[in-house]
Amino acid sequence: MAKTWVDQGFIAYDTETTGIDVGQSRIVTAAAIHFVDRRPVESRSWLIAVDVEIPEAASAIHGVTTQMSRDQGLEQVAALADIRSFLVGTGVPVVCFKSDFDIPVTDSNLIRAGLAPLPSGLAVCAYVIDRQFNKYVKGKAQRRLQPTAARYGITLNDADWHGAQADAIAAGQIFLAEVAAYPALTAVSAEQLSEQVDQWREAQELEFQQWLARQEPN
C-alpha cells in the first residue's frame, strides 16, 4: 500500500478547559500524540496553572481542581508556548475530535498569553468526518467521543475518559479508522482535507438548523 500523508504523520490533540466559551476558557490540561506510520511515536501532556478559578462542573468532568492546577501545574505562558511548539514544530496536520473547539480555545489562550495563534489550515476534525461519511447514526448522544470510538471498534478503560490524554488517543484512533473506511480522505492532501472539513462543517450546521426549523410547530 502506497504511503499517504497520514502515514507520514499527524498529531492527535485534545484539551480540557475551564468551560465551553472558546474566547474566555482557560486550558487546564492538554495532550498531543504524534502518530507516524499510523502508530503513536511520541506523547506529550500538560497540566497548567490557570489564572482563574476552575468551576466545579468543569472539575467534575476532567478531575482537575483549582488547587491541583495551581499546586501541580506548569506556568501558564511557558506551557502554552510549549504546546504551540509541539503542534507546529513537526509541520504535520493536527487531528481533533472537535477541532471547532480545541483549535479556537488554544488560539485564544495563546493570544491572551502574547503568543501567536496556530497557523490556519492545520486542523482536521474526526467528528465532522464521521458526520459526513456516516450520516445515519441512531440514538441519543451517539456522536459523542466514547460512542463514536465504540462504533469504530475502539475501546478504552471507562475510568480514562474525559482526560486529555485518553481523548487525544481516541481522536487519533477514530481518525485512523475513518481513513481505513473512507479512501477519499487520503485522495487529497492534508491541506485540502482541512478545507473540505471546514466546508462540510458549514453544510452540516446549515442542515441541522433547517432540521430544527422543521420541528417547530406551524
CATH number at residue 142: 3.30.420.10
pLDDT value of residue 208: 83
Q: Are 17 and 31 in contact (CB under 8 A)?
A: no
In this prediction, residues 160-184 reach a mean pLDDT of 89
**pLDDT digit string (tens) for 47-65?**
999 999 999 999 998 999 9
* Residues 70, 51: Cα–Cα separation, whole Å: 8
> What is the domain range of residue 193?
5-215
pTM, two decimal places: 0.92
Cα 43 to Cα 13, 121, 127, distances in angstroms: 10, 23, 22
Angle separating helix axes 164-181 and 126-133, nearest 10 degrees: 40
**pLDDT digit string (tens) for 129-166?**
999 999 889 888 899 998 999 999 988 765 555 678 88
pLDDT value of residue 139: 85
**pLDDT digit string (tens) for 77-127?**
999 999 999 999 989 999 999 999 999 999 999 999 999 999 998 899 999
- φ/ψ of 144, rounded to 5, equals -70, 170
pLDDT value of residue 109: 98
Q: Does residue 74 register a pLDDT over 70?
A: yes
Q: What is the number of domains present in the chain?
A: 1
Q: Does residue 218 register a pLDDT over 70?
A: no
pLDDT value of residue 156: 72
DSSP state of 44: E
Cell numbers placing 184 = 477519499
- φ/ψ of 14, rounded to 5, equals -145, 150
Bridge partners of 36? 39
pLDDT value of residue 211: 79
Share of the chain above pLDDT 90, in %: 80
